Amino acid sequence: MKRLVLRWVVGFDENNEPIYRRQSIAVSDSFNSENAQVIVSILDKYSKYMCESAQLVTTESVGDEL
């Protein structure tokens, strides 16, 4: 299972520090970093917010008895 995790700058506080919001998008297991770069570029272009960072996260189950 993979997720594309984006960190958006959605504004600035009274001290001019950035305010962040995180977004997680489920993607297919065949999704790779090249796909992620394309998607991030498209989302960044059409969003009113700036994408500050993006990570492609792979999770793996290690057992159901935890």
Taking the C-alpha atoms of residue 44 and residue 6, their distance in angstroms, rounded to an integer, is 10
Q: What is the pTM of this model?
A: 0.82
Can you tell me whether residue 46 is helix, strand or coil? Answer: helix
Burial of 6 (0-12, 13-18, 19+ CB in 10 A): buried
Task: Identify whether the C-beta of residue 7 lies closer than 8 Å to the C-beta of residue 57.
Answer: no
Over residues 25-50, the pLDDT tens digits come to: 999 999 999 999 999 999 999 999 99
Of 52, 25, 57, nearest to 39 by C-alpha is 25
Q: In the prediction, which pLDDT does 66 show?
A: 61
